[in-house]
């Protein structure tokens, strides 16, 4: 059975691209376009992985990640932050919020995402 | 500025180098750091930390306008395995070591475990990160 991934990304274009990438390795992807919607969808059906953008309306990715990692029912779900904020400070903020990985959206993003999926045992 | 990578610790493969002379090289440095950390069995979170440190160091050296070479290599201290990032910074000759250290701590202090500056014969910045014993991704 395919692993279920929840992608939280407000840009429909980027969401479609990331969704296609994840589906290309056999993952089943649901998409939420903001933080509150994402948190609701996590509770509806616990995903095997959450891919989270930082820049989101209403509640940013750091806040969403902190909420997920503080709640006992969602704390163990791996979170990969995929983001345009790539400075040392942003990286540290993401990891301190509890993210399992922090990947800048650059030309190597897909390669790193695949590598991390493999390390998390979500693709063969 | 080219230099042969050196370390106070035993050096081991992989040994990688990235030339920093244009904006794109920052991205390449970040990518190479992640790959090196992955090869050494660091967790994705540790890979992200090291990549952030490499990008920051690359950005700092790029600002000087001179060509630099950033080296990445494995290190070992007894039973402890780690990774080292180093870059020669001759333009820091004469600058007070304490000030350099303070600036580096502010920039990358949260991302790495150790920051060293070797001043003899010429300044070399070294950043180290060690594998955690409880890291589930640790391979050795």
Domain count, chain B: 1
Does B138 fall in a domain? no
Give the global pTM.
0.86
Does A112 fall in a domain? yes
Shortest CA gap B6–chain A (Å):
25
Contact of A88 with chain B, judged by CB distance below 8 Å, is answered with yes
Does B36 fall in a domain? yes
CB contact under 8 A, A92 and B110: yes
Residue A29, domain CATH: 3.40.50.2300
DSSP string, B56-122: HHHHHHHTTTS-EEEEEEEEEETTEEEEEEEEE-GGGTTS-HHHHHHHHHHHHTTT-SEEEEE-SSS
Residue B109, domain CATH: 3.30.565.10
Does B61 fall in a domain? yes
CB contact under 8 A, B27 and A108: yes
What confidence tens digit (pLDDT) does each residue in B76-117 have? 999 999 999 999 999 999 888 889 999 999 999 889 999 999
CB contact under 8 A, A92 and B31: no
Please give the order of strands across the beta sheet that includes B114-118: B10-20, B68-77, B80-88, B124-130, B114-118
Whether B36 has a pLDDT exceeding 90, the answer reads yes
CB B114 within 8 A of CB B77: no
CB contact under 8 A, B48 and A102: yes
Nearest-CA residue of chain A relative to B137?
A: A119
Residues pairing with B126 in the sheet:
B86, B116
Range of weakest confidence among A8-12, B56-60, B113-117, B136-140 = B136-140
Does B3 fall in a domain? no
For residue A112, which residues of chain B lie inside 8 Å, CB to CB?
A: 31, 34, 47
Contact of A109 with chain B, judged by CB distance below 8 Å, is answered with no
What are the start-end ranges of the H helices in A24-71?
35-44, 61-70
Q: Taking residues B47-74, what's their average pLDDT?
A: 94
Contact of A120 with chain B, judged by CB distance below 8 Å, is answered with yes
CB contact under 8 A, B38 and A87: no
What confidence tens digit (pLDDT) does each residue in A16-56 have? 999 999 999 999 999 999 999 999 999 999 999 999 999 99
Say what the pLDDT of residue B140 is.
Answer: 39
Does A8 fall in a domain? yes
- Residue A23 belongs to what H/E stretch? helix A12-23
Environment class of B99 (CB within 10 Å of its CB; exposed 0-12, middle 13-18, buried 19+): exposed
CB contact under 8 A, A108 and B30: yes
Domain count, chain A: 1
Whether A66 has a pLDDT exceeding 80, the answer reads yes
Does A19 fall in a domain? yes
Say what the pLDDT of residue B94 is.
Answer: 86
Could you give the CA distance from residue A49 to residue A52 in angstroms, rounded to a whole number?
10
CB contact under 8 A, B45 and A102: yes
CB contact under 8 A, B45 and A100: yes
User: How many beta-carbon pairs under 8 angstroms link A with B?
Assistant: 62
Spell out the residues 6+ positions from residue B37 whose beta carbon is closer than 8 angstroms to its own.
B46, B47, B50, B51, B83, B129
Does A124 fall in a domain? no
Shortest CA gap B83–chain A (Å):
18
What confidence tens digit (pLDDT) does each residue in A79-108 have? 999 988 778 888 999 999 999 999 999 888
Span between the terminal Cα atoms of chain A, in Å? 13
Q: Which residue range is the domain that position B50 belongs to? A: 10-130
Whether B40 has a pLDDT exceeding 80, the answer reads yes
For residue A80, which residues of chain B lie inside 8 Å, CB to CB?
A: 44
Q: Which residue range is the domain that position A81 belongs to? A: 4-119
Look over chain B and give the mean of its residue pLDDT values, rounded to a whole number: 89
Between A124 and B34, the higher pLDDT residue: B34
ipTM for this model: 0.80
């Amino acid at each position: 059975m395919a692993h279920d991934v929840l992608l939280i990304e407000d840009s429909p274009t980027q969401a479609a691209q990331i969704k296609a990438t994840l589906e290309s390795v056999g993952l089943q992807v649901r998409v939420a376009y903001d933080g509150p919607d994402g948190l609701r969808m996590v509770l509806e059906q616990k995903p095997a992985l959450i891919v989270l953008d930082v820049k989101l309306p209403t509640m940013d990715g750091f806040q969403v990640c902190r909420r997920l990692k503080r709640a006992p029912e969602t704390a163990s779900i791996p979170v990969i932050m995929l983001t345009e904020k790539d400075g040392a400070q942003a990286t540290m903020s993401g990891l301190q919020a509890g993210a399992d990985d922090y990947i800048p959206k650059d030309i190597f993003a897909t390669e790193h995402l695949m590598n991390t999926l493999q390390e998390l045992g979500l693709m063969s | 500025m080219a230099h042969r990578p050196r370390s106070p610790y035993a050096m081991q493969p992989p040994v990688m180098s990235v030339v920093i002379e244009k904006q794109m090289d920052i991205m390449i440095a970040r990518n190479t750091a992640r790959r090196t950390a992955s090869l050494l069995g660091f967790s994705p979170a540790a890979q992200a930390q090291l990549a952030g440190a490499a990008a920051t160091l690359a950005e700092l050296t790029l600002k000087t306008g001179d060509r630099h070479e950033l080296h990445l290599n494995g290190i070992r201290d007894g039973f402890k395995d780690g990774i080292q990032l180093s870059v020669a910074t001759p333009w820091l000759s004469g600058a007070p070591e304490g000030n350099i250290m303070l600036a580096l701590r502010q920039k990358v202090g949260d991302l790495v475990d150790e920051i060293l500056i070797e001043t003899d014969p010429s300044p070399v910045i070294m950043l180290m990160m060690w594998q955690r014993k409880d890291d589930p991704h640790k391979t050795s």
